[in-house]
């Protein structure tokens, strides 16, 4: 059984959510896949405080908040799909805080070799930089990258073609999983 953890980094349940849902469902179609979708905004995640290298010494984060609920999910996942709206040509603060708080796993190499995929949505511009931030996160954690998509909406609702792109990414992830 392959476990897919999908992360929605928008505070809203709109474009990013719909795209991440489409990617996730397309992966699940291959069968033998367990999926879980997490809205970061449902979790109370504080900023990394850059404390005194507690996580480097212990492999754990000393901040007792909802990130503690996500650590086991991340550890168990084989695939991590992260979606973000583009905010100021970057990921949202929700995603950045989440990324920063995975630092214990940097020291324990807990995400190493897991598969990552990314989705970025923008109204107009900056989506590639948002994708690049997520791709760097995967790289720093020594993860494998299955692919990514960026969608520019022009402040319009998602088109069928956008959802098709999401499904294609999902199929690509599924195909990568069959190869490993
Ligand atoms: C604070 C903020 C910053 C934004 N910055 C950008 C930006 O730099 N480039 C862009 O094209 N759209 C920007 N947007 C628009 C969002 O990326 C866009 O509306 C996106 O579709 C929202 O995704 P969601 O529907 O999943 O929440 C910004 C929106 C907000 C609220």
What is the domain extent for residue 94?
Answer: 2-179
Which ligand 1 atom is at minimum distance from the Cα of 86?
17
Confidence of residue 31 (pLDDT cuts 50, 70, 90): confident
At residue 148, what are phi and psi to the nearest 5 degrees?
A: -155, 160
pLDDT at 180 over 80: no
Q: What is the CATH number of the domain that holds 121?
A: 3.40.50.360
Q: How many residues does the chain have?
A: 180
Residue 122 bridge partners (DSSP): 152
Contacts of 14 (CB under 8 A, 6+ apart): none
Which ligand 1 atom is at minimum distance from the Cα of 90?
8
Query: What local confidence, expressed as pLDDT, does residue 52 receive?
Result: 87
Instruction: Give the Å distance between the CA of 123 and the centre of ligand 1.
Output: 6
Alpha-carbon distance 20 to 166, whole Å? Answer: 7
Alpha-carbon distance 75 to 131, whole Å? Answer: 22
How many structural domains does the chain have? 1
- CA-nearest of 144, 92, 119 to 17 is 119
Q: Is the CB of 87 under 6 A from ligand 1?
A: yes
Give the residue, by CA position, lying nearest to ligand 1 atom 8.
88
pLDDT tens digits for range 76-117: 999 999 999 999 999 999 999 999 999 999 999 999 999 999
């Amino acid at each position: 059984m392959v476990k897919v953890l999908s992360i929605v980094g928008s505070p809203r349940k709109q474009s990013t959510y719909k795209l991440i849902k489409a990617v996730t469902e397309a992966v699940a179609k291959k069968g033998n896949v367990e999926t879980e979708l997490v809205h970061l905004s449902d979790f109370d995640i504080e900023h990394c405080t850059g404390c005194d290298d507690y996580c480097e010494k212990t492999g754990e984060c000393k901040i007792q908040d909802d990130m503690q609920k996500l650590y086991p999910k991340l550890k168990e996942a084989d695939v991590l799909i992260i979606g973000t709206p583009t905010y100021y040509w970057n990921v949202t603060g929700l995603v950045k805080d989440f990324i920063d708080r995975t630092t214990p796993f940097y020291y324990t190499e807990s995400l190493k070799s897991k598969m990552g995929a990314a989705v970025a949505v923008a109204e107009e511009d900056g989506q590639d930089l948002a994708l690049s931030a997520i791709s760097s996160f995967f790289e720093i954690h020594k993860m494998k990258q299955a692919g990514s998509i960026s969608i520019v909406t022009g402040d319009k609702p998602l088109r069928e073609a956008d959802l098709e792109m999401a499904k294609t990414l999902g199929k690509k992830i599924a195909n990568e999983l069959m190869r490993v």
